[in-house]
Chain A
Amino acid sequence: MAETRQTELAHADSRESVTPLGPVRRSRDLRVYLVVLGGVMMLADLSFIFWVAPTDSILGDIQRVFYFHVPIAVMSFLAFFVVFVASIVYLVTRSPAWDRLAQASAEVGVVFVTLALITGVIWARPIWGVWWTWEPRLTTTLILWLIYVAYLMVRAYAANPNQGARYSAVVGIVGFVDVPIVYYSVIWWRSIHPSPVVGPLAQANALEGTMAAVLLFSFITFLILFVFLVAQRMALRETEDRLGGIKSAMRRRAESVF
């Protein structure tokens, strides 16, 4: 028994070294570039937000939360859009790569929407006067958070990875309905949230020039952070898949020995 395991491990090892590592290494290099670029941009972004962007005439310094809050919220929309597309392609092609993309993007999206809620709470207390209120955008955003937490739970509690991938793909497609609802909530319903400052429905001159430039930079910074996190998670998932394959092969081999 012990001997078989030894040889299995040796096989697994030798397979690692024999496999041409070209694509793996290239993806790792890409991630290194992304994390260096993202780190430098994040530092620059912080200095722009606190030193370059002018202080808002009405809200004061607390308005600087805006440069985190809005890009983070929009990146969560982007993340769930990626989940939506990757889930459809996965259900059609059943290719694991698309499922990896969907899972990675969903996990990062949940982190971003959580951060959007937290930064929103911090901003709401001094300006609105309350930490939380059940107004349309806050309520629909909380629903969004619940949908994608459910997505991760459906995946985690499925009987096997294939089932988890399929079931969560359906949640990822249906759940995306809420993203446009969150964006349009301040148009369709009365809300305490300001009307959109970015996107198709933004008013003209809602932002002063310097503020808009800092916001744009912040968007690019958080986009790079998003891409890096998704790429990192996908690489991890690939390793998990390979490990899962090796484990079950070993289990089968062990069973066939007895």
Chain B
Amino acid sequence: MAGLQSDLPFDLEAENDGGKGHRTRFVILGLVVALAVGYMVYAAFPGNALYFLTVSEFMARDSAQDGRTVRVAGKLVDGSFLREENSTVANFRLTDNDGELVGQQLNASYLGVLPDLFFNPHSEVILEGSYGTDRVFQVNNVLVKCPSKYQSVEQEQEQRLLN
């Protein structure tokens, strides 16, 4: 009867004979792991590893234009979208996403299906691809970034009436 009760898997008496040295080693090991994880997160992201470049950053950075694959984000320039005749190749231009100011523009060419919200005026477009020698950005993938604001159709119409 007594044997049944005292022999739970959590037998702390039997466990703690490892002593204090064991615990210190464990704390050190934990710290090393924590530092390693921290360093990996630090090294993986900031500075050189941006998720995307803006159009002007891309144009200013020669090292990004040597044909390596990069991501460039910006707004679709109004009226710049053109599909070649009898072809699925789309040509368009991208500009920085800072309001009315139209700065530098990036010529891009893409063969494929565009996401639904590509033409939405609220969307920001992110292109994955590389710069060709003809100064046209050859796009492999098109991504669309949406505003972090959700509203119903009715509310949007109300706001449009107010403006």
Q: A126-B116, A189-B51 are in contact. Are A205 and B45 (CB under 8 A)?
A: no
Q: A133-B143, A136-B45 are in contact. Are A54 and B51 (CB under 8 A)?
A: no
Query: Which segment of B60-68, B88-96, B153-161 sits at the interface?
Result: B153-161
Q: A55-B152, A195-B148 are in contact. Are A11 and B1 (CB under 8 A)?
A: yes
Q: Taking the complex as formed, is A3 at the interface, i.e. its CB lies under 8 A from any CB of chain B?
A: no
Contact A249 B51 (CB under 8 A): no
Contact A130 B51 (CB under 8 A): no
Q: What's the least CB distance linking B60 to chain A, in Å?
A: 16
Within 66-124 of B, Cβ neighbours of A (below 8 Å) are at 73, 114-118, 120, 122
| Nearest residue, chain B, Cβ from A240 | B9
Contact A245 B9 (CB under 8 A): yes
Query: Which segment of A78-86, A169-177, A218-226 sits at the interface?
Result: A169-177
Q: What's the least CB distance linking A210 to chain B, in Å?
A: 7
Q: Taking the complex as formed, is A129 at the interface, i.e. its CB lies under 8 A from any CB of chain B?
A: yes
Q: What's the least CB distance linking B156 to chain A, in Å?
A: 4
Q: What is the bound-complex CA distance between A156 and B15, given in angstroms? A: 18
Q: What is the bound-complex CA distance between A134 and B51, given in angstroms? A: 8
By a CB distance below 8 angstroms, the chain A residues around B122 are 58
Contact A203 B7 (CB under 8 A): no
By a CB distance below 8 angstroms, the chain B residues around A177 are 34, 37-38, 41
Q: What's the least CB distance linking A155 to chain B, in Å?
A: 13
Q: What is the bound-complex CA distance between A178 and B41, given in angstroms? A: 9
By a CB distance below 8 angstroms, the chain B residues around A58 are 117, 120, 122, 146-147
Q: A12-B4, A58-B122, A129-B115 are in contact. Are A206 and B150 (CB under 8 A)?
A: yes
| Nearest residue, chain A, Cβ from B124 | A192
By a CB distance below 8 angstroms, the chain A residues around B120 are 58
Which of A136, A165, A208 is close to B155, meaning CB atoms less than 8 Å apart?
A208
Q: A129-B141, A129-B142, A252-B3 are in contact. Are A190 and B10 (CB under 8 A)?
A: no
Most B-side CB within 10 Å, residue of A99, A127, A188, A207: A127
Q: What's the least CB distance linking A159 to chain B, in Å?
A: 12
| Nearest residue, chain A, Cβ from B44 | A139
Contact A208 B152 (CB under 8 A): yes
| Nearest residue, chain B, Cβ from A211 | B150
Chain B: residues with CB nearer than 8 A to chain A? 1, 3-5, 7-12, 15, 26, 29-30, 33-34, 37-38, 41, 44-46, 50-52, 73, 114-118, 120, 122, 126, 141-156
Q: List 12 A-B contacts (CB under 8 A).
A: A11-B1, A56-B151, A130-B141, A139-B44, A161-B10, A162-B9, A190-B51, A205-B149, A208-B151, A211-B152, A245-B8, A249-B4
Chain A: residues with CB nearer than 8 A to chain B? 11-12, 15, 54-59, 63, 66, 94, 96, 99, 126-130, 133-136, 139-140, 143, 160-162, 165-166, 170, 173-175, 177-178, 181, 188-192, 194-197, 203, 205-208, 210-211, 241-242, 244-246, 248-249, 252-253
